[in-house]
Amino acid sequence: MTLDRRRFLQTAGLGVVAATTSLPAFAAAHPKAEPDWAALRGKLSGQLFLPADSGYNDAKLGFFTMYDRHRPAAVARCTRQEDVQACIETAVTNAFPLAARSGGHSYAGYSTLDRGLVIDVSRMNSVEVRPDGTVVVGAGARLFDVYNAVAKAGRLLPGGTCPSVGIAGLTLGGGIGVIGRKYGLTCDRLTNARIVTPDGTIRDAASSPDLFWALRGGGGGNFGIVTSFTFQTAPSHDFTTFNLSFPSGASAAVVNAWQTWCQEVPDELWSQLSVSGNTQVEGTFAGPANQVQGLLDTFVRRVGSQPTSRDVRERSYFDAMVSFAHCEPSNGGCTPSWNGGGGGLGRGTYVATSRILTKQIADPQAFVRLLSSVPGMLTLLDSFGGAIARGDSAFSHRTAIASIQLIKWVNNGDEAGARAAVNPVRDELGRMFGESAYVNYIDPQMPNWANAYYGPNLSRLRAIAAKYDPGKVFRYGQSLHV
């Protein structure tokens, strides 16, 4: 099967929300009758959708098509933080399972919560850029809208590539992005987060150092439901984007050259290596094209063969983000088509997992053979270093060379088959580089997942989760309470 890399990049993004796939501890211990939905509806400024309601079938949809068969007991579209409070109170009072949804992507699938309450904050999507350079972003905002708003104000914020990824999941898991080596992870720009904790309290996380540390890389759905984020942006400027394609026969040489070159270049240069048939290296440089050309020439010399194509061009910050999104902003081309989005952006049907490149690849040829062993699988390596390495938060992979993303299409709804194909590659990479993984590619079958996602920060994160959620309300298959 020939891989459509453009299609992958239109859909593959970073960001999860709470993925409640099992009953919370309090619900399992004290099961009660279904909540009084009419009473909850009366408290909400937004809408509550039950299975019999018109609009329910659309309201329950998420990004991934393979979860469409699931039917949550109710979906609450919240429009203010008080709505979130009312939903949490209803769930806790009735010992009823709940899951948060920001409206972006969730690789474990909040929609597997068949008999629970989905707390949807996708309508809380305002983006307010303030004169001091901070931006207050509603938890339901998606990356395209965030980039658009900050760019219009002459500012920038580091983040991922897919336009429909939610800012919430991206930030809470860390936020690997295309200008990260210069400006850090998305969570590194966070100055505050407004969160509703399980006791119904609305908190400013910046006033609680332990909670604020945990929210920056400790994963979504572990401590409460965040309703807004405040970031410190940076002044916007032009970027140079580049793309070099090499034939499959050069893949091992490209991998070998890239793994050292990507760490030696200035912080201004971020790059991504993709391996699937032909091999590509693309990225951004926070400067003019004439300054990056020499760095690219050095890379090509180390590979030892010329690329089949080479594209280098200067763009504005916003245009650079759109180029990586592979969508057309006009006529809603970067706006979701699902869950009332009204745009033309398609949904996703794939599984994803990850590993972290913690050391040099000793045998690039064997590495390429492993990645090529699954037909139709795309592998993306995102370079770390620079400002990422200097950050301090719950994100546990600061010293790594790169992240490794494995993405495989689901054919005919066969999610299990896609995972079975990818899992041996994931596990072999774990043996090669250690069992580390990125929580924003949450994998329900990840071995030793807690240590993989959180590493040395695990015990501290679990203590913070226990402090703010002693009743284990936010407990799911891979939560910190498990």
Q: Write out the DSSP string of 19-75.
A: ---S--HHHHHS--PPP-HHHHHHH-SSEEE-TTSTTHHHHT--SBGGGTT---SEE
- Confidence band (pLDDT; 50, 70, 90) for 6? very low
| Residue 65, domain CATH | 3.30.465.10
Same domain, 72 and 88: yes
**pLDDT, tens digit, 9 for 90 and up, residues 119-158:** 999 999 999 999 999 999 999 999 999 999 999 999 999 9
**pLDDT, tens digit, 9 for 90 and up, residues 468-482:** 999 999 988 899 998
**pLDDT, tens digit, 9 for 90 and up, residues 249-285:** 999 999 999 999 999 999 999 999 999 878 999 999 9
Does the residue 1 lie in any domain? Answer: no
Q: What is the DSSP letter of 111?
A: G
Give the global pTM.
Answer: 0.93
- For residues 160-189, give the mean pLDDT: 96
Task: Give the up-direction half-sphere exposure of residue 245: CA atoms within 13 A in the CB hemisphere.
Answer: 8
38: amino acid identity, one letter: A
- The span from the CA of 222 to the CA of 466, in Å, is 10
Q: What is the pLDDT of residue 21?
A: 33
**pLDDT, tens digit, 9 for 90 and up, residues 325-379:** 999 998 899 999 988 888 999 999 999 999 999 999 999 999 999 999 999 999 9
Does the residue 2 lie in any domain? Answer: no
Does the residue 184 lie in any domain? Answer: yes
For strands 309-315 and 377-383, give the pairing.
unpaired
- For residues 407-432, give the mean pLDDT: 96
Does the residue 5 lie in any domain? Answer: no
Burial class (CB in 10 A: 0-12, 13-18, 19+), 331: exposed
Q: What is the pLDDT of residue 278?
A: 84
Same domain, 349 and 217: no
- The span from the CA of 233 to the CA of 189, in Å, is 7
Domain that holds residue 138: 13-236+317-343+450-482
Q: What is the pLDDT of residue 341?
A: 87
- Whether the Cβ atoms of residue 279 and residue 273 lie closer than 8 Å to each other: yes
| Residue 244, domain CATH | 3.40.462.20
Categorise residue 278: left if φ over 0, alpha if ψ from -120 to 50, beta otherwise: beta
Q: What is the DSSP letter of 3?
A: -
Q: What is the pLDDT of residue 151?
A: 98
- For residues 190-198, give the mean pLDDT: 98
Indicate if the pLDDT at residue 20 is higher than 50. Answer: no
- The span from the CA of 351 to the CA of 373, in Å, is 17
Indicate if the pLDDT at residue 246 is higher than 60. Answer: yes
Three-class SS of residue 287? coil
Does the residue 3 lie in any domain? Answer: no
Same domain, 124 and 251: no
Same domain, 210 and 321: yes
Does the residue 464 lie in any domain? Answer: yes
Indicate if the pLDDT at residue 12 is higher than 80. Answer: no
Same domain, 324 and 423: no
| CA-wise closest residue to 449 among 459, 434, 461, 439 | 439
- Whether the Cβ atoms of residue 103 and residue 142 lie closer than 8 Å to each other: yes
Does the residue 6 lie in any domain? Answer: no
